[in-house]
Structure 1
Amino acid sequence: MSTAMPFAADTTLLSEVTAAVKTAGLTLRERHTPHARGVSLEEVVAEIHANDDAVLDVLREPLLRARRGSQWAEDELAGGALPSGEWWVVDPAEGNINHVHGMEDWAVTATLVRDNQPVLTVVHLPLTGDTYTAVAGGGARLNDRPLKVSGKTDLGAALTGTGQARPGEDERTFRRIGDSVTAMLINGLVVRVSVPATMQLIHVAAGRTDAFWQFSDVRSGLVAGALLVSEAGGTVTDLAGEPWNTGSRDFLAAAPGIHTAALKVLSPIA
Structure 2
Amino acid sequence: MRGACREGGTGPGTRHSHAPGSHSVTDPLPDPLPAPLSDPLPDELLSLALEAARRAGELLRDGRPEDLAVAATKSSPIDVVTEMDIAAEKLITGFLAEARPDDGFLGEEGASTAGTSGVRWIVDPLDGTVNYLYGLPTWAVSIAAERDGETVAGVVEVPMRGETYRAVRGGGAYCGDRPLRCRPAPPLEQALVSTGFNYVEPVRRHQAEVARLLIPRLRDIRRGGSAAVDLCDVAAGRLDGYYERGLHPWDLAAGDLIAREAGALTGSRPGEPPSRDLAVAASPGVFAPLQRLLDDLGAWHD
TM-score under structure 2 normalisation? 0.77
Equivalent positions of 1:15-34 (< 5 A) are 15-34=47-66
- State the structure with more CA Rg: 2
Is this contact kept in 2: 1:76–1:220, CA < 8 A?
no
* 2: CA distance, partners of 1:69 / 1:6: 23
* 1: CA distance, partners of 2:143 / 2:179: 19
Equivalent positions of 1:153-168 (< 5 A) are 153-164=186-197, 167=199
* 1: CA distance, partners of 2:201 / 2:250: 19
Shift of 1:260: 1.0
The match for 1:11 is: 43
- CA gap of 1:138–1:58, structure 2 versus 1, over 3 A, is same
The match for 1:114 is: 147
| 1:187 pairs with one of 196, 217, 227 | 217
Gaps of 5+ in 2: 1-35, 112-116
Shift of 1:221: 1.3
The match for 1:81 is: none
**TM-align CA RMSD:** 2.7
- CA gap of 1:77–1:184, structure 2 versus 1, over 3 A, is farther
Q: Could you tell me which amino acid in structure 2 is paired with residue 208 of structure 1?
A: R
| 2:127 pairs with one of 78, 83, 94 | 94
The match for 2:289 is: 261
Is this contact kept in 2: 1:241–1:263, CA < 8 A?
no
* 2: CA distance, partners of 1:115 / 1:99: 33
- CA gap of 1:189–1:35, structure 2 versus 1, over 3 A, is farther
Q: Could you tell me which amino acid in structure 2 is paired with residue 106 of structure 1?
A: W
Instruction: Kindly indicate whether residue 157 of structure 2 is the aligned counterpart of residue 127 of structure 1.
Output: no
Deviations 1:44-96 (A, max 9, x none): 33122111122123221111233342111144599xxxxx9432111111112
The match for 2:241 is: 211
The match for 2:175 is: 142
SS at match of 1:182: helix
SS at match of 2:131: helix
SS at match of 1:265: helix
Instruction: Kindly indicate whether residue 270 of structure 2 is the aligned counterpart of residue 237 of structure 1.
Output: no
Shift of 1:184: 2.1
Instruction: Kindly indicate whether residue 226 of structure 2 is the aligned counterpart of residue 196 of structure 1.
Output: yes
Shift of 1:232: 0.5
- CA gap of 1:156–1:34, structure 2 versus 1, over 3 A, is farther
* 1: CA distance, partners of 2:210 / 2:252: 18
TM-score under structure 1 normalisation? 0.85
SS at match of 1:69: coil
Is this contact kept in 1: 2:108–2:124, CA < 8 A?
no
